Amino acid sequence: MKIAVYSTKNYDRKYLDLINVKYGFDIEFFDFMLNETTAKMAEHSDVVCIFVNDDGSRKVLEKLAALGVKMIALRCAGFNNVDLKAAQELGLQVVRVPAYSPEAVAEHTVGLMMTLNRRIHRAYQRTREANFSLEGLIGFNMHGRTVGVIGTGKIGIAVMRILKGFGMHILAFDPFKNPAAEELGAEYVDLDELYTRSHVISLHCPATPENYHLLNRDAFAKMKDGVMIINTSRGTLIDTQAAIDALKQRKIGALGMDVYENERELFFEDKSNEVIQDDVFRRLSACHNVLLTGHQAFLTEEALMSISEVTLSNVYTLQTGKPCENNVLPS
C-alpha cells in the first residue's frame, strides 16, 4: 500500500513516520499542495493523504482516479475541500480524522482571548522597546462576563470547560443540543439572543453552505459594541470585509483568528520576504486589536500523534476490508 502525502511539513513527516513503524506503508512525502498540476505526482499510489487547503475538487479527483488512486485520507476533521459527490461517483473512499485533540484547539482559542483582552501582544512589543506605559492596555475581567459558544461539539465543549473555570456565563447555539454543554451550565439560545447578550463569541462549527458567512453585517449589527470574536474553526464562517467595517465602527472590539477565508495562498508557508497581495488580509493585520495566527490551533505533540495514528489506522482498516467509522461517504 503506497500513500502520497501532500502539503507535508517537517512535523507531519516526523509523526507519520513514527506511527508508520507498526503499519509499514510505503509513504512518499510532497511539500506542495494537491491541485490539478500536482495530482500526477500520485502515480502508482493507492492513497492520497491531504490537509485543509489541498484541492479535492472534481477535476483533481478525476485525475487521481485515472492514476489508480482508491482512497483520499484527510488528516483533519473538515472535508469541505473535497467534492464528495465526485468522489462517490469515481469510487474513491474518503476518510478523515474527526477528533484528534479538542483540548489543543480549545486552549489556543482561550489563549487568543486572553492575549487580546489583556493586550499581551502589544505589551510584549512595548517592553522590548523599554516602553513600560500602561496606557491603552486596559482589559476586563473574564469572570462574570457572558461568552457565546457557537458549535457545541468536542472542541466547543472543551472551550466551555475552560471558560467555566473563569467563572463566565455560557450561552450556546447548535442545531443539535449536547447534554455535556447543559451539564456545564450552558444555556442554549437562538443566534440572535446569543449575539445580543455575549461579550465574547467563539466559533466552533464546520464550513458548510449553511454556515457560510455566518457572522456577516446583519449578525455584527446585533452584537454588543466592543464584542470580542474568536474563530479557530474555518475562515468562511466570517465575512471578512464586513468584519473590517465592524472593526472600523468599533462594533468589534477585538478579533482573534487562527483561520482566514482566503488562507489557501498564505498559510503554512513563509511569506516574510514577499509583498502580501491580499489587501483584505493586510488591512486586518494592520489593526492593533486583531490577532492572527496561521492555522496553528491544532499544533501540539498530542494532536500530531493522534492525527497520524488515526490517519494510518483509517487506511489500514479499509485495506483489510473492514468498515471504518471515519468514512465520510456511506458504505
| Whether residue 210 lies in the annotated active site | no
**Quick one: CA dihedral 321, 325, 329, 331, positive or negative?**
positive
Asked if residue 233 and residue 128 are part of one domain, the reply reads: yes
Q: What local confidence, expressed as pLDDT, does residue 100 receive? A: 82
Asked if residue 90 and residue 18 are part of one domain, the reply reads: yes
| Whether residue 234 lies in the annotated active site | yes
Q: Which residue in 96, 234, 261, 309 is the catalytic one? A: 234
Q: State the average pLDDT over residues 48-61.
A: 96
Nearest to 158 by CA among 327, 12, 15, 300: 300
Q: What distance in Å separates the CA atoms of residue 24 and residue 38, rounded to the nearest whole number?
A: 25
Q: State the average pLDDT over residues 3-22.
A: 97
Q: What local confidence, expressed as pLDDT, does residue 330 receive? A: 74
Query: Over 70: is that where the pLDDT of 15 sits?
Result: yes
pLDDT > 90: percent of the chain:
94
- Other residues' Cβ atoms within 10 Å of the Cβ of residue 235: 19
In a domain, 327, yes or no: no
Q: What local confidence, expressed as pLDDT, does residue 78 receive? A: 85
DSSP 104-165: HHHHHHHHHHHHHHTTHHHHHHHHHTT----TT-----STT-EEEEE--SHHHHHHHHHHHH
Place of cell 475552560: 162
- The residues, ordered by sequence, that sit 6+ positions from 165 with a Cβ below 8 Å of its Cβ are none
| Whether residue 43 lies in the annotated active site | no
Nearest to 89 by CA among 58, 56, 68: 58
Q: What local confidence, expressed as pLDDT, does residue 77 receive? A: 86
Tell me the CATH number at 122.
3.40.50.720
Query: Over 80: is that where the pLDDT of 162 sits?
Result: yes
Q: State the average pLDDT over residues 253-270.
A: 93
The per-residue pLDDT of the chain, averaged, comes to 96
3-state secondary structure of 263: helix
In a domain, 329, yes or no: no
Chain-centroid distance, C-alpha 177: 22
Structural domain range at position 36: 2-100+301-320
**Quick one: CA dihedral 122, 128, 129, 132, positive or negative?**
positive
Angle, vertex CA 141, rays to CA 140 and CA 145, nearest 5: 100
Element (H, E) at 20: helix 10-20
Query: For the whole model, what pTM was predicted?
Result: 0.90
Query: Over 70: is that where the pLDDT of 331 sits?
Result: no
Q: State the average pLDDT over residues 236-264.
A: 96
Asked if residue 130 and residue 24 are part of one domain, the reply reads: no
Grid cell for residue 105? 484547539
Asked if residue 233 and residue 118 are part of one domain, the reply reads: yes
Query: Over 70: is that where the pLDDT of 234 sits?
Result: yes
Determine phi and psi for 65, rounding to 5 degrees: -60, -40
Asked if residue 154 and residue 46 are part of one domain, the reply reads: no
Asked if residue 142 and residue 42 are part of one domain, the reply reads: no
Residue type, 313: S
Listed range (211-215, 254-258, 265-269) with the worst mean pLDDT:
265-269
Residue type, 256: G
Asked if residue 154 and residue 79 are part of one domain, the reply reads: no
Angle subtended by helix axes 154-165 and 102-117, to nearest 10: 50
Q: Which residue in 75, 199, 295, 309 is the catalytic one? A: 295
Query: Over 70: is that where the pLDDT of 1 sits?
Result: yes
Q: State the average pLDDT over residues 134-154.
A: 97
Secondary structure of 281-296 as H, E, C letters: HHHHHCCCCEEECCCC
Query: Over 90: is that where the pLDDT of 242 sits?
Result: yes
3-state secondary structure of 73: strand
In a domain, 325, yes or no: no
Q: State the average pLDDT over residues 3-23.
A: 97
In a domain, 250, yes or no: yes
Q: State the average pLDDT over residues 62-86.
A: 95
Longest CA pairwise span in the chain (Å): 65
Q: Domain count of the chain?
A: 2
pLDDT band for position 265 (cuts 50, 70, 90): confident
Q: What local confidence, expressed as pLDDT, does residue 96 receive? A: 96
In a domain, 328, yes or no: no
Asked if residue 71 and residue 169 are part of one domain, the reply reads: no
Q: State the average pLDDT over residues 7-11.
A: 96
Query: Over 90: is that where the pLDDT of 99 sits?
Result: no
